[in-house]
Chain A
Amino acid sequence: MLLKLARQSLWSRRGTAWLTLCSLIISLSLLLGIDHLRLEAKRSFTSTVAGTDLIVGARSGQLNLLLYTVFRIGNATNNISYAHYEQISKHPQVRWAIPLALGDSHRGFRVLGTNTDYFRYFRYGEQQSLQLAAGREFSSVYETVLGADVAKKLGYQLGQEIVLSHGVGKVSFSQHKDQPFTVVGILAPTGTPVDQSVHVSLTGIEAIHQGWQNGAPAMRKAKTVLSEAELAALQPTVLTGALLGLKSKVATFAVQRQINEFKAEPLSAILPGAALAELWQMLVLVENLLLVITALVLLAALIGLTTTLLAAQRERARELAILRAIGARPWQLFLLIELEVLLLTVTSIAGAFLLLTGSLAALQPWLSSQYGLVISLLAWHPHTAAGLGLVLALSLLLGAIPAVQAYRQSLNQGLQVRL
C-alpha cells in the first residue's frame, strides 16, 4: 500500500517528478557513460595489441608509433625499408614478424598492406587469431581480404571489385582506378581496428604505386597497367612498420635495444603495453577530472531531488495528517518519502541504462570507424553495482532530510493542519 501511495503521489506530481527524473537520468548516464567509455577504450586498445611483443617503425615517439601502426590513428612519420625488415625478422629471438604498409584507403577505411603471416600470427584479445568468415586469404597481387565492418558497412560480397585511393581521407582525388582489387575473403569480427581494415598483399601496395614519385602519380603515364612479367617481378620496397612476436618474453628488452640501435636506419621498437600505459598515464588526469565533474553533477541532481521533495512537503502536510489520522505510524510516513526517493532513483538508473545503451548503439558505428573503438552496449562492470549502490545510498541519505521532516511533523502536529 505504501508503495502504491508513493507511486501515485509521484504520479500526481508528475510535472516536477519528471524533471527531477530527467536531471537524474542525464547525470547518471554521464557518470556511467564516462566510466564505461574509459574502461572499454582501455579494454579495446589492450585487446588489440594483446599478442604483440614489439612494434617496429621509423624513429618516433612510442605513442605515435603505436597509434598509427595498430590503431590507424594519425600517420607515419617515415617509412622503413623492406630489406631491414627482413633482416630484423630473421633475428634469432624473433618467432614471427608481420609487415605493415599503410597510407592508402578505401572509402574512409584504411588499407593495410601485409603478407599472409598476418592471418597466421596476429593475435588479439585472449590470444585469439584472425578467422575468415568467408572466402580465403589473398594469394595474388590484386586480391583483398576485408575486415568485418568494411564488408558489412559497404555491403561488399566475395568476388566484388574495389578501387583503392591514395591517402587516408574519406574523399580522395587520386584513386588507383586502373588497378581494381577483387574481394577474396572477409574476416570474422574481432572488435579491434582489424574490422575497419582492407587487407592487401605488400605486392599489391607496390603495384598500385608503380611509376609514382614522391607520393604522386607519374605525370607521363595516363594509365599503369602492369604486364604479367612485371607483376611477377614486383618486390616490396618500403613498409610503415612491423609487429614482432618473440620466442621469449625475457628477450624483449634486448631485442628492443638492438632495434633501437640499428645502424643502417633509424628505427624505433616499442613495447605496446608500455606505450599504452604511457597513454593512460597521460589521460588519467583528464579521466579523473571527468569522473569528479560527473559525480558532482550527479550530486547536484540528487540535491535537486531533495529540494523538490522538501518543497512539496508544505503542500503535503494535509496528506500526511490524513495518513496519521487513519493510523499510519510516523516511521511509515518516513518510509513513504524514502520510497518515493527510491522509486525516482531506481527509475532513473533504469532510464540511464536505456539512454546509455541507446546512445552507444547510435554512436558505435562512428566510434569504431573513427577510433577503432568497439564499445560494448551494456555499461556494466564489476564495480558498477557497488557504484550504483552508493548512488542509491546517497539518494536515500539525502531523501532522509524530507523524510525526517515528515516524521517530525507528524509527531508534533497532531491531526490538525494549520494551513
Chain B
Amino acid sequence: MAVDLNIPAIELKNLRHQWPDQAFCLQIPALTLAVGQHLFIRGASGSGKTTLLNLLCGVLSIQQGEIRLGGQLLQPNSAAKRDQLRARQIGVVFQQLNLIPYLSVLDNVLLGQAFSGKAADMARAERLLQALQLPAELWQQSAAALSVGQQQRVAIARALLGKPTLLIADEPTSALDADNRDAFMRVLLQEADAAGSTVVFVSHDQALAGYFQYQLDMGRLGDGVTAVRGNAACC
C-alpha cells in the first residue's frame, strides 16, 4: 500500500467519550501522529487508555469528534466499515495470550489476512517469523506450546503481516522479564519501522518511555495537555 507521508497516520479532533453511569469522560482536543512515528501512552488504570484504544481500533463507536486513520475517517455509524478498516490497517498486540491456542504458529500469523480479504502472504509471514527469531521448527507447533516471550513475538508478526498503517500495542511487555522485554521492544519497533507502521504503545511502565519519540500522559489529558513532542526527558 502506498503511504502518503504528508497525511498523518492518526488525527484526532475534539474527541470526547463518556461511558454511561460513569463520571469519567475521555477528552482529547487534538492529537496528530505522522506516519512512522512512535507514540508512548502512559496512564494509570481508569485513565481512559483502554477507551482510547477501543476508539482508535474502531471497536467503540465515536460519540463526539472524529478520528482519521491514514486520512480515512472512522465512520461513527458503520461498525462494518470500522471492522474492515481495522482488518486492513491496524495491527494489535495485547498484554498476553495474543494467540489462538489451538492454531499453529503460522496459522496464527496468517489469521489476520483471512478477515482483511487479502491473499495469505506466506512468504512475508515466514520472513517476519524468521526476523523475530522464531525458528521454522516452531511454525507448525500449536501456539500454546510456545513460551510467553515467543508468543508475544508471534503476535508482532501477525500484527505486522498486512503492513498496517497503525500498530497498537496494549501493555505487550507486562508478562515479560526485563531481558525479554528489551529484546521485545527492539524487534517490535524495528519491524514496525520496516513495515512502515506507526506505533501506538500503551504501558504503565515508565521505563519503556525511552524507546519513543512521542508521549501522551493520560493523567494529564484533563489539564488540556494533549499533544506530545519530544522524548521522555522533556515530559
Contact = CB atoms under 8 A, between A and B. Distances in A.
Interface residues of A, number: 25
B50 A416 contact: yes
Contacts of A9: 100, 102
A325 B92 contact: yes
B97 to A, nearest CB: 5
Contacts of B94: 321-322, 325, 415
Given A329-B80, A415-B54, A415-B170, A322 B115 contact: no
Given A327-B87, A327-B115, A332-B115, A322 B53 contact: no
Nearest to A318: B97
| Main DSSP-derived SS at the B contact region | helix
B101 interface: yes
Size bracket, chain B contacts: 20 to 34
Contacts of A324: 59
B35 interface: no
B86 to A, nearest CB: 5
B216 interface: no
Interface in A1-51: 1-2, 4-5, 8-9, 11-12
Contacts of A11: 102
Given A327-B88, A414-B50, A415-B94, 14 more contacts: A4-B107, A5-B100, A8-B103, A8-B107, A9-B102, A12-B102, A319-B101, A322-B97, A329-B79, A329-B83, A330-B79, A415-B59, A416-B50, A416-B54
Contacts of B98: 322
Contacts of B10: none
A327 B84 contact: yes
Interface in A295-329: 318-319, 321-329
A12 B102 CA distance: 6
B102 A328 contact: no
Interface of A: 1-2, 4-5, 8-9, 11-12, 318-319, 321-330, 332, 411, 414-416
Nearest to B80: A329
Closest 9 CB pairs of A and B: A327-B87, A12-B102, A1-B114, A327-B115, A326-B112, A325-B92, A414-B54, A414-B59, A329-B83
Q: Which of B79, B91, B92, B107 gathers the greatest number of chain A CB atoms within 10 Å?
A: B92
Contacts of B116: 327
Contacts, number: 75
B210 to A, nearest CB: 26
A405 B185 CA distance: 36
A327 B54 CA distance: 13
A193 B114 CA distance: 60
A327 B112 contact: yes
B57 interface: yes
Contacts of B112: 326-327
Nearest to A319: B100
B158 interface: yes
B111 interface: yes
A415 B102 contact: no
B197 to A, nearest CB: 15
29 contacts: A1-B114, A1-B115, A4-B107, A5-B100, A8-B107, A318-B97, A319-B101, A321-B94, A322-B97, A323-B100, A325-B92, A326-B86, A326-B87, A326-B91, A326-B92, A326-B112, A327-B84, A327-B86, A327-B88, A327-B90, A329-B79, A330-B79, A414-B50, A415-B50, A415-B53, A415-B54, A415-B92, A416-B54, A416-B170
Contacts of B114: 1-2
B99 interface: yes
A332 B84 CA distance: 12
A415 B57 contact: yes
Interface of B: 50, 53-54, 57, 59-60, 79-80, 83-84, 86-88, 90-92, 94, 97-103, 107, 111-112, 114-116, 158, 170
B101 A327 contact: no
Contacts of B84: 327
Contacts of A2: 114
Nearest to B91: A326
Contacts of B92: 325-326, 415
B108 to A, nearest CB: 9
Contacts of B115: 1, 323, 326-329, 332
Contacts of B87: 326-328
A322 B102 contact: no
Contacts of A416: 50, 54, 170
Contacts of B103: 5, 8
Nearest to B142: A12
A413 to B, nearest CB: 9
A165 to B, nearest CB: 64
A330 B79 CA distance: 9
Contacts of A318: 97
Nearest to B89: A327
A322 B99 contact: yes
Contacts of B53: 415
Nearest to B144: A12
A326 B99 CA distance: 11
A379 B153 CA distance: 53
A322 B108 CA distance: 10
Contacts of B170: 415-416
Q: Which of B60, B88, B101 gathers the greatest number of chain A CB atoms within 10 Å?
A: B101
Contacts of A415: 50, 53-54, 57, 59, 92, 94, 170
